[in-house]
Structure 1
């Protein structure tokens, strides 16, 4: 199973609220500058940050100077521009250690990894995408699959289809209508009717199966994890290689384990 170059999936921008006296525009602009690095392939110059953030160069220069002073941006060692700073990792750690959902999922995911021997992940839903919050590698791990914070779309992933299957069908169709249906591989489904057929199948089975939708040679199984209101907040994924598994064998071996793990989390 090899890594691939994949389309960038940034979060959907949040528009500033109208007539909100508590909203601090300067802080929002600071995060616009940090968000300019989503999907960047290397260091960014001030002009590139301005273009990607939609802010004026003068404002970007002041914000970059401030963020660099605070440790949230840094100069590239070859002096080609700016990169995210080390202190951003402190906030990622805070999120993981203080989020009660992740604290509950961690031992369940570790046990699932022991039982399956394959890569297992836990992702959280952010509108049209899933963001990986926990990942345990298999013997075939590759670089991008090891990175926490990697995001994938709902429409062409096992976990995403599992999430869509636990929503009322009109809500799932509305989310699909707002999605940009890009082909991540030669086998990615981009036809809305075909995608909804997979979502409907996941609704019947209790799990979703996706083959080579993101990574060539990969098969993945996903089960939604529900919040207290019974709505999907994320998903558990198990991923393997089509060189070792066919779809029927993969589902037969792992579907019950994944559904049991998700069910244990839903019941808490």
Structure 2
């Protein structure tokens, strides 16, 4: 690039932010406006803009700066590359990252065809000696698991009522919630928070924390779950909720969800 070279992480970051700004703006942006939004001096921004213009990633108009043909070509190529990459690969990569960040077992669960339970489709086990261990293909109830409750939260209240009318909630532990209204309230709380968390509900000593993963069209392929020993989780329940929310959002973005 002419003028300012891309020899520093800061320059690379500014270039990406410029492209991001222009791609989300309905109108061309002036140099002053770009400088203001990036909180960067005009002298630094203009050098990067000229370099991007030479590569056809941006173009200068009488009303300001706008995306160029190179940016649209790159965007199309990136979309095509993402479409060639199986969603399972994207989801698994996010699960590995979450397992490293949380130190716990991470599960991806899908709603069963009859919509009365969940099935574990993928698992990344914790490296801790004491850990939550499950097998791919295992099935669990909706009403007493974090993954089940967060998937129920995507249903309408009527669908949740219909589901609860079709099952007889059993007590798997002394803590299992079996009252239908209490379960509805827990599902509503998950819907509002975007995350569900259960403690000793489906198994003694097990804590689950789950959030929804969304694909490009907004549809929900499944739930991302952190499963951890309750004894190790009690002092960091809020942290686990945030980690799961952040990881689910990251995976969803990589799947093309922009909502």
Q: Give the TM-score band, short-chain normalised.
A: 0.5 to 0.7
Give the distance between the partners of 2:220 and 2:182, measured in 1 at CA.
22
Bigger share in helix:
2
Give the distance between the partners of 2:171 and 2:219, measured in 1 at CA.
28
Computed over aligned residues only, the root mean square deviation of the Cα atoms, in angstroms, reads 2.1
Contact 1:211 1:218 in 2 (8 A): yes
Counterpart position of 2:151: 163
Counterpart position of 2:117: 129
**Matched ranges for 1:121-200 at <5 A:** 121-126=107-112, 127-138=115-126, 139=128, 140-141=130-131, 145-200=133-188
The two structures have a TM-score, normalised by structure 1, of 0.58
**Matched ranges for 1:105-120 at <5 A:** 105-120=91-106
> Unmatched 5+ residue regions in structure 1?
1-98
Contact 2:214 2:221 in 1 (8 A): yes
Give the distance between the partners of 2:100 and 2:247, measured in 1 at CA.
12
The two structures have a TM-score, normalised by structure 2, of 0.59
- 2:86 aligned with 1:100: yes
Counterpart position of 1:235: 223
Contact 1:166 1:231 in 2 (8 A): no
Contact 2:106 2:224 in 1 (8 A): yes
Whose radius of gyration is greater, 1 or 2?
2
Secondary structure, aligned partner of 1:240: strand
Residues 1:232 and 1:174: Cα distance change in structure 2 (over 3 Å): farther
Pick aligned residue for 1:263 from 237, 241, 249:
249
Count of residue correspondences? 167
Give the distance between the partners of 2:217 and 2:170, measured in 1 at CA.
31
Larger relative contact order, structure 1 or 2 (CA cutoff 8 Å, min sep 6): 1
Secondary structure, aligned partner of 2:178: coil
Counterpart position of 1:52: none
Q: How far 1:228 moved relative to its partner?
A: 4.5
**Matched ranges for 1:186-225 at <5 A:** 186-225=174-213
Contact 2:131 2:228 in 1 (8 A): no
Secondary structure, aligned partner of 1:232: coil
Give the distance between the partners of 2:109 and 2:228, measured in 1 at CA.
17
Secondary structure, aligned partner of 1:243: helix
**Matched ranges for 1:245-256 at <5 A:** 245-246=233-234, 249-256=235-242
